Amino acid sequence: MALQHTTEIPLDDLPKAQALYQGLKNQKCILMIVLGDSKATQDGVQIADNLAPTSPGGFTRKVMWVKNHTVLKEELEPYLHAAEIIKDDTPYEEIKCFCLTLSPRKAQSRIHKNGVMDYIRVEQLYIEAESQSL
């Protein structure tokens, strides 16, 4: 199924990647960020995309998919540090998914790369970010 609410970040064009990220960041939307390109992650992106238009509170939801943990690391990692999600035993490379609130952008929790990215967990991340955006 096509991804209708997801922006794929190019891995070979950093300026474009940064521009796309800035564009999404500046939009008034709840922003789900998915990292990696495993099969489970691809399925997870589809789930996040499916859930995007179903916000029960009417929030706009968007998905940003970065297929590796290198591109935009400098931009994204601080959110996880600020939320104390990244710790000694959980580096950036072990994060699969997290969700940013409306402005000011911040993350609350995440899905670990070994974690399940199913409808419940992804929706839970959306709900968490939305409730923090009220």
Partner 1 sequence: MRILLTLLLLAFTLTTSAQQSIITITEKSGKKITDIPRSGEQVVDINSELTLTIDKEALKAKIVDNIPDLQGSFDLQTQIDQFEAALNFQDQVLTAMEGNLDDAETMDELYAGLTGFYNYLGRQGTNSQIYKETASLLNQYFSNDVNTFVAGQKVSKEYYVFTHLNEELSSLKTELAKQPNTSYFVSMTAYLQTEFGKAGRVHIENFDNYALQEFYEVPRWVTTLSADQLQSLKEIQAQAQANNERRADLFEELKTKFLAALPDLKCAQEAKANITAFLTDGTVSSRLSTAVKDKAQELIAQYEQIVGLIETVKTTVSGLSVDTVFEIYGLIDQVKKQAESIKNVFTDFDALIQVIAGIQAEADALTDEVKDCIKKLSNFGAAFDQLVGILKGHQVRYQDNLELGKEVKRFTVDNLPAEGFLQLKRSGKREDGDRLELNLLLGIPKEGKDPTSTNPDDYDLIKLEPWLLQMQTLGFYSRTYVGLIMADPYNADSLSGVEALQERRFLYAPSAGLLLKVGLRNSRFYNDFLSPGIGISISTPDFDTNGDPEFGTGLVLTAFKNILSIGINYNVTLDVPYWSFGVNLPFNLPGIPINRPQ
Measure the CA–CA gap between 18 and 58, rounded to whole angstroms. Answer: 28
- As measured in angstroms, the least distance from the Cβ of 51 to partner 1 is 8
Q: Return the C-alpha torsion angle 117, 123, 129, 132, nearest 10.
A: -140
- Tell me: does residue 2 bind partner 1 (CB under 8 A): no
Measure the CA–CA gap between 13 and 39, rounded to whole angstroms. Answer: 23
- As measured in angstroms, the least distance from the Cβ of 105 to partner 1 is 18
Q: Are 127 and 120 in contact (CB under 8 A)?
A: no
Binds partner 1 by CB under 8 A, chosen from 36, 48, 57, 91: 57
- Tell me: does residue 5 bind partner 1 (CB under 8 A): no
For partner 1, which is the closer residue by CB, 18 or 60? 60
- Tell me: does residue 123 bind partner 1 (CB under 8 A): yes
* # residues near partner 1 by CB under 8 A: 18
Q: Are 54 and 108 in contact (CB under 8 A)?
A: no
Measure the CA–CA gap between 102 and 85, rounded to whole angstroms. Answer: 18
Binding site for partner 1 (CB under 8 A): 47, 50, 54, 56-58, 116, 118-121, 123-124, 127-128, 130-131, 134
